[in-house]
Amino acid sequence: MSKKLNIGLFGFGVVGQGLYDIIKTKHLNLEIVKIAIKDAHKQRSLPSQLFTTDKDELLNNPEINTIVELINDTEAAFEIVSRALSSGKNVVSASKKMIALHLEELIELQHKHGTSLLYEGSVCGSIPIIRNLEEYYDNELLHSVSGIFNGSSNYILSKGFNEGLDYDSALKQAQDLGFAETDPTSDVGGFDAKYKLVIAAAHAYGVIVKPDDVFNLGIQNLSAHDLQYAREKNLKIKLVPVAKELDDKHVALFVLPKFVNDKEFLYNVEYEYNGVIVQAAFADQQFFFGKGAGGHPTGSAVLSDIAALRYDYQYEYKKAKERKGLNFTNNIELNVYLRYEDEALVEALDFIHIHERYYSGSYKFVIGKVNLQSLVNNQQLIADNKAFVAFADQLAGVNLAAEVKETAEAL
């Protein structure tokens, strides 16, 4: 039999309201006791006595046994979650940046105090990828986990490719619709996707990686030249985070735009939708598809976690217990497309092999093989050059699996 959950809810924005809407339609053994908000003067659709601006009314209330954290302030979220776990309250959170930055500490707090932190809603909205990595793939050897993890950047890319909108116009549409923030850096720069990748990799491989160590390059330097090139090759450009096991000792993580062809699952993932591809040794390739953002899609993932807490569900971090010798590395060779202005950038990246070069007025690109660590070392130079870099195994005419095998054997 499930136990009753008395919930203290932090945040009543898009996801908080979406969660409340869903809960109203269900007959579950739970109750939202209090909602903590920042703005006491904002008009609300619920009785005013349900709201407070004092977080201690939730955290120090002995009747509240479950905290649901849905705020945008990373450090405030960490304080709320860590205090709740330390005081014996279970927690559901959708704060991907907070979880990615503090995951090791949060795991230790759960073990120390016997509490549970669940965060399905922090990665890819409505797609149940964390629970699947934790439970379904717990005994499976995973070659890679990749996909489209950010709906804002995917919306911009879809508008550019499908409707011919330039980057700035597509970004403004995304902002007007609430898909992208006023400062879109986290979305279009690949930071949001990176935080989600770090969380997913912890469950896929048992490796906790600091986000600052993971290379991310976004779509902010995308130009009409790049989109036209993709069209000519019958390809699309997607922003793709990748976690890839190279051998039994090394795993690589990175976020890069990627050219995809019409045979790949990600080719048809458009606008605000997300897609996750799991490449497994025995189950082969599996694909998860769904809305990656929005009040009701993310709220449904949060509610799934809340419902699981009624039965004392906890993440066991099984891969971390089993795979003690696996280490993060940037030593992987990638085939990339580089559109650039200054020849010094090509020299600095020290390409292992260049398959193709093109010069035409202001449009110059190379396609070739480069070590990921070289991209890491020259990230500022890439930004200063306003260059666009994309993962380009399709353009190089190579088999990605063979490249990975070759790199793994070299390590």
Token pair for 7? 């919930």
Taking the CA atoms of 134, 297, 124 and 182 in sequence, report the sign of the dihedral they define. negative
Residues 405, 369 contacting (CB under 8 angstroms): no
CA-wise closest residue to 337 among 264, 251, 233, 209: 233
Q: Which helix (H) or strand (E) holds 206?
A: none
Residues forming a β-bridge with 360:
363
Residues 6+ positions from 12 with CB-CB distance below 8 Å: 20, 35, 37, 44, 51, 70
Residues forming a β-bridge with 215:
254
C-alpha distances in Å from residue 19, one per residue of 26, 70, 98, 197: 11, 10, 20, 24
Would you name the residues annotated as active-site residues? 196
CB burial class (10 A; 0-12, 13-18, 19+) of residue 296? middle
